[in-house]
Amino acid sequence: MNHFEYRRNLLHAEDIPVSRIAKEVGTPVYVYAEATLRRHYEVFSKAFASHYTAGRASICYAMKANSNQAVIATFARLGAGADVVSEGELRRALAAGIPGERIVFSGVGKTRREMAAALDAGIAQFNIESLPELEQLNEVALAMGRRARISLRVNPDVDARTHAKIATGKKENKFGIAWSHSLDAYRRAAAMEGVEPVSVDLHIGSQLTDLEPFRLAFTKIGGLIETLRDEGIDIRHVDLGGGLGIPYAGEEPPHPDDYARMIQQTLGHLGCDITLEPGRLLVGNAGILLTTVIYVKEGEDKDFVIVDAAMNDLIRPTLYEAHHEIVPLWRAEDTAPRRPVDIVGPVCETGDYLAVNRPMPKLSAGDILAVCSAGAYGAVLSSTYNSRPLVPEVMVRGGHYAVIRPRQSIEDLIAMDVLPPWLKSG
Ligand code: LLP
């Protein structure tokens, strides 16, 4: 459910006609509905409060999905923690008011500097993905006179049945410690002075629309926890990653209630506290990207609708063959004829499209379109390719909106470059 709907045939974000935002802020622009962010967080946290009774459940928002300060601060006020993957994300989470003790640090390549910053911030847990990383964290913590709480991210070798570029739980993926090495890695960690293994971690992929891969992986993890306990490594906590999918094109992903029930069934007997790292689920359907039609070009076989947003603003269609619904701001009659068109941007790449062969009502220059479900992995993955400035982001709350990131200016873009001395004068 989200808060973008037609009222009197005009698309609204909560109580605001989005055409007003397009007019006042310009396009392209990302628009987020605060009520949807809150609702998704509440549905998810209630699911665990009601159905996971074996221990405490902490929700650490995977802020890579959308790291705007306003989005993180919205979740911080609801009590969320954060899953971070870089010093930049760590500092953004702290700046938005998420306390260190609610932060977990994931990712395969944490540097010494990042480890030290996270130890300084007193984070809850490092999710460690290799033996060299384990050894380095041990050294950094010892040098600082600290003991780092850790989880080993293990790779359960399970097929998440999602797009290959966002599947992370198979042994051929770079993520996690190989399943057959995991017991030994825990033994090594348990013998180190600078780290304390408190948890097991996994994340098998993103945009999963089926519970079975999760169930398989979580069952494996449960077995590992039992083996570790038998060895005297007393694991009382498990981090289950993120990955629960959202409907982009009529998919019916499991409800968080069913996800929480399945976790209770597969892991409840262990009595662990759990950490969850949802990203897309919290923000995906809370955002849209508004874009204006610049030209409609007739081709021999099909027409091209050329819009002012491009692959640099939303790369998901071309990178993951992702489907985003695209709707006009004025609702077209259900009976209006629709023709398949390619909706493309101005960037000089064949892969620059938002939709291919998409049945659309008749469109003309000046029409504004909303690209739906763009709140996750939209703005954060944007770039300035073709010297196109980063687009603004807006958050709506009820009948008000605020610009939460202004449009980058071309002057700012140019000012990021520095001429070497030999090109400066003359
Ligand atoms: N935890 C870890 C360790 C992760 O690597 C990720 C996502 C998450 C949690 C959150 O997953 P989510 O709940 O959002 O599925 N750019 C891609 C998605 C990349 C996901 C990377 N890791 C896309 O646009 O589909």
Would you give the distance in Å from CA 126 to the centre of its chain? Answer: 19
Q: Is residue 61 part of a domain?
A: yes
CA atoms within 13 A on the CB side of 385: 16
Q: Which class for 136: exposed (0-12), middle (13-18), buried (19 or more C-beta within 10 A)?
A: middle
Separation between Cα atoms, residue 331 and residue 220, nearest integer Å? 48
Q: Is residue 425 part of a domain?
A: no
Judge whether 102 lies within some domain: yes
Which CATH number goes with the domain that contains 354? 2.40.37.10
Taking a C-beta distance cutoff of 8 angstroms, is the pair 276, 243 a contact?
A: no
Residue 369, Ramachandran bin (φ over 0: left; ψ between -120 and 50: alpha; else beta): beta
| 280, 310, 340 - which closes a domain | 280
- For residue 378 and ligand 1, the question of a CB distance below 6 A is answered with no
One domain, residues 271 and 352: no
Q: CA 358, 18, 33, 399: dihedral to nearest 10 degrees?
A: -160
Closest CA to ligand 1's atom 22: 206
Which pLDDT does position 301 carry in this prediction? 87
The residue from 254, 280, 306 where one domain ends is 280
Domain contains 72: yes
Angle in degrees, CA 318, 71, 4, rounded to 5: 65
User: How far is Cα 358 from Cα 323, in angstroms, rounded to an integer?
Assistant: 10
The strand order across the sheet containing 4-7 reads: 4-7, 10-13, 16-17
Start-to-end Cα distance in the chain: 60
Domain-located, residue 17: yes
When divided into structural domains, the chain yields a total of 2
Same structural domain, 184 and 326 = no
Whether residue 125 lies inside any domain: the answer is yes
Tell me whether residue 24 is in a domain: yes
Domain end among 250, 280, 310:
280
287 closest CA partner among 237, 324, 337: 324
As a whole number of angstroms, the distance between CA 285 and CA 392 comes to: 18
Say if residue 325 is in the same domain as residue 294: yes
**Nearest Cα residue to 158 out of 114, 110, 216:** 216
Structure tokens given for 66: 């959308």
Q: List beta partners, residue 293.
A: 307
Residue 206 CB–ligand 1 contact under 6 Å? yes
Domain identity same for 205 and 295 = no
Query: For position 426, what pLDDT does the model report?
Result: 63
One pLDDT digit (tens) per residue for the chain, 426 residues? 789 999 999 999 999 999 999 999 999 999 999 999 999 999 999 999 999 999 999 999 999 999 999 999 999 999 999 999 999 999 999 999 999 999 999 999 999 999 999 999 999 999 999 999 999 999 999 999 999 999 999 999 888 888 888 888 888 888 999 999 999 999 999 999 999 999 999 999 999 999 999 999 999 999 999 999 999 999 999 999 999 999 999 899 999 999 999 999 999 999 999 999 999 999 999 999 999 999 999 999 899 999 999 999 999 999 999 999 999 999 988 888 999 999 999 999 999 999 999 999 999 999 999 999 999 999 999 999 999 999 999 999 999 999 999 999 999 999 999 999 999 876
277, 285, 323, best to mutate for ligand 1 pocket (most atoms within 8 Å of CB): 277
- Rounded to whole angstroms, the Cα distance separating 252 from 241 reads 20
Tell me how far the alpha carbon of residue 242 lies from the centroid of ligand 1, in angstroms.
Answer: 7
CATH number at residue 239: 3.20.20.10
One domain, residues 333 and 207 = no
Going by C-alpha positions, the residue among 420, 389, 395 that lies closest to residue 407 is 389
pLDDT value at position 167? 84
Furthest CA-CA distance within the chain: 75
What gap in Å lies between CA 424 and CA 277, rounded to an integer? Answer: 48
| Nearest atom (ligand 1) to Cα of 381 | 16
324 C-beta closer than 6 A to ligand 1: no
Q: Give the distance (Å) from ligand 1 centre to CA of residue 392.
A: 23
> Angle, nearest 10°, between helix axes 256-267 and 212-230?
30
71 vs 279: CA distance, rounded Å: 11
Which residues form the domain of 72? 34-280
Annotated catalytic sites, by residue? 348
CA 195 to mean position of chain CA atoms: 28
Q: Are residues 40 and 134 in the same domain?
A: yes
Best of 61, 206, 276 for a ligand 1 pocket test (most atoms within 8 Å of beta carbon): 206
**DSSP symbols for 5-47:** EEETTEEEETTEEHHHHHHHH-SSEEEEEHHHHHHHHHHHHHH
- CA–CA distance, 272 with 235 (Å, rounded to integer): 8
**Residue 99: count of CB within 10 angstroms of its CB:** 15
Q: 10 with 133, same domain?
A: no
Please name the residues in contact with 337: beta carbons below 8 A apart, sequence gap of 6 or more: 361, 362
- Which tokens is 234 given? 């007393």
Nearest protein CA to atom 24 of ligand 1, as residue = 377
Q: 301 and 179 share a domain?
A: no
Cα(328) to centroid of ligand 1, in Å? Answer: 29
Kindly state whether residue 421 falls inside one of the protein's structural domains: no
Are the CB atoms for 287 and 66 separated by under 8 Å?
Answer: yes
Q: How far is the C-alpha of 267 from the C-alpha of 270, rounded, in Å?
A: 6
Residue 166 alpha carbon to ligand 1 centre in Å: 7
CA distances from 240 to 171, 202, 204 (A): 17, 5, 9
Separation of CA 205 and ligand 1 centre (Å) = 7
User: What is the pLDDT, as a whole number, of residue 342?
Assistant: 98
Q: Are residues 196 and 298 in the same domain?
A: no
State if residue 241 touches ligand 1 by the CB under 6 angstroms criterion: yes
| Cα 403 to Cα 61: distance, rounded to the nearest angstrom | 22
Q: Are residues 28 and 40 in the same domain?
A: no
Q: Assess whether 404 and 293 both reside in one domain.
A: yes
- What does the pLDDT read at residue 425? 77
- 317, 376: one domain: yes
